[in-house]
Amino acid sequence: MYQTIKQFRNQILGLLWSIQTANTSASVFPTRSESFAEWQSETSHGKSLWFRPGVEETIPALPYAGNWEAVQQALDSFPSHLRSVYLDDIDREWQIRSPDERVFELENGRALTNLGIVLTPDNVQINDLSGGSIYGLTKHKTNFQVRTLPPLKKLRGRVLLLASGLGQRNFYHWTAEMMPRIRLVRDAGIDFDHILIPKRHHYHRESLLLLGISPDKIVGIGKYAHIQAEALIATSKIRQELSSTNVRFLHDSMAGQAWSKTSDPNRMRIYIARRTNGWRSVVNERELINAITPLGFRPVFLEDLTYKQQIQLFQQSEFVIGPHGSGLVNLAYCNSGTRVIEIGTPVRPNVLFHIIAYHRGLIYRNFFGTAVKARNDESHIDVDVADLLSTLHELQEST
C-alpha cells in the first residue's frame, strides 16, 4: 500500500513537472556529471575563491545510562554489519576530520530545485557541490520520469546557493550542515547579492534573518526552481557531525543578539515532548512528565515555537530532557554546564547530540529505554522512569 501511494504521488509530481516544462525553451537534462575540479580543468567559467584545510577532533565515547540490554536486544534483529556499526559508535572514541573548507564561483552557474543541484552553463552536474542528484529524479524506479528542465529564471550579481536534499526537509541538517556555510563565506570575505534557500519551512528564512541576512537578499526556491546567476557561489559540503568551530559559530551568532537569553538569571528546566504521529515518542510520557514536574520541569513542543523562541528556550535552560530528535540541535545554544538527558532510540544509538554537548561543555547522558513497535531503525520508546530519575539526580550532583 505504501509503495502504491508513493508511485501514485510521483506520477502526479511527474505530471506537474511536465506542465511546468511544456511549451518552454527549457533545456534538456545534463549529459554528464563531474566534480568541480574535473569540470574546472576543462573550462575557464569556474574558480576556487577560498580554501582552509579541515581539522581533526577527538570526541570521547558516548556517555550512556538506562537499559543497555534493551539496546543489545533491539539490535539483534539487524544485519550484522549495521549492528556492529551501531555498537562501535557507542563504545569507541571518535576521530572526526572536518572536510577542507572551500568556496567556489561558477560563471552563469545554475541551481535546480530545492535539492540545490548545481549545473554549469555547459550542462554538467557538479556532484560535490550539489545537495541532490538530477539522475535520482529520473532513474529511480519510484521516481517520476522527466526529460526537460523547468523554465529558467535569471538573477544578476553573485548568488549564494544554500540548499540541499536533507537541508530542505530536516531541521537538524539545515542547522548543522547549511547554516554554517554562512560562516564559510564570511570567513572568505565574500559578499553576495542574493541567497537561494528552500521555501519549505519557516525556519529556513527565520534562521538567516537571525544571522543578519537582509530579507531583500533572500530568494526562496521550490521543487520546480531553475535559476541562473551571473556568478553562482557554492561552498564545500559540511559534515552532519558538528565541529567545534561550527558549534561556536551557531552559539556565538545568537548569544550576542539583543534578544538573547544567555545571561538571563531566570533559568528553566524543560522536557521536549514529541507529537504522537512521529517516531521516537515516549509511550509512557505522561508518567514521566508527572514524575519530573515536581522537580521543576515543564513540557514544550518545539514545533509550536519560532526559531528565535527555540533558541531563547535553550539559552535559558539549565536542564534539558527529551527523546532523540532534530530539535536537540538547539543544544548548540545552551550555556556551558547545562544538564542534558537525551532519551536515546534503542534501535539507532546516535552520537550527534553528544558531540554538540561535548563541544559546548554540557553535562550529558544518553539514556536508553526499550524499543516499542520498532521498524527498521526507528521505534517508539518506553522509559524506566525510576531509572531516569536516578540518572537525573546523578547529573544534578555532577560538576
pLDDT at residue 232, as a whole number: 98
* Maximum average pLDDT range among 20-29, 32-41, 71-80, 203-212: 203-212
The kind and range of the H/E element at 361 are none
Is residue 377 pLDDT above 90, yes or no?
Answer: no
Q: Among the listed ranges 136-140, 180-184, 252-256, 312-316, which one has the minimum average pLDDT value?
A: 136-140
pLDDT at residue 143, as a whole number: 42
pLDDT at residue 242, as a whole number: 97
- Cell numbers given for 269: 528546566
Task: List the domains of the chain with CATH numbers.
Answer: 25-53+99-238 (no CATH), 57-97+247-396 (3.40.50)
Is residue 151 pLDDT above 80, yes or no?
Answer: yes
**Amino acid (one-letter) located at 367:** F
CA 391 to chain CA centroid, Å, is 28
Which of residues 277 and 47 earns the better pLDDT score? 47
pTM of the model: 0.91
Residue 69 banded pLDDT, cuts 50, 70, 90: confident
Residue 147 banded pLDDT, cuts 50, 70, 90: low
pLDDT at residue 141, as a whole number: 39
Task: Please state, rounded to an integer, the average pLDDT across all residues of the chain.
Answer: 90
pLDDT at residue 22, as a whole number: 54
| CA-wise closest residue to 231 among 33, 47, 41, 38 | 47
Mean pLDDT of 18-31: 59
In sequence order, which ranges of 1-144 are alpha helices (DSSP H)? 2-21, 36-40, 68-75, 80-91, 136-139
Q: Among the listed ranges 87-91, 105-109, 385-389, which one has the minimum average pLDDT value?
A: 87-91
pLDDT at residue 8, as a whole number: 65
For residue range 344-371, list pLDDT tens digits in order. 988 888 899 999 999 999 999 999 999 9
- Cell numbers given for 68: 543497555
Distance CA 119, CA 88 (A): 39
Is residue 25 pLDDT above 80, yes or no?
Answer: no
Q: pLDDT exceeding 70 applies to what percent of the chain?
A: 88
Is residue 160 pLDDT above 50, yes or no?
Answer: yes
Distance CA 170, CA 328 (A): 12
Mean pLDDT of 274-296: 92
Distance CA 5, CA 14 (A): 14
For residue range 89-105, list pLDDT tens digits in order. 777 898 999 999 999 99
Distance CA 320, CA 248 (A): 19
For residue range 186-215, list pLDDT tens digits in order. 999 999 999 999 999 999 999 999 999 999
CA atoms within 13 A on the CB side of 250: 31
pLDDT at residue 142, as a whole number: 39
Is residue 144 pLDDT above 70, yes or no?
Answer: no
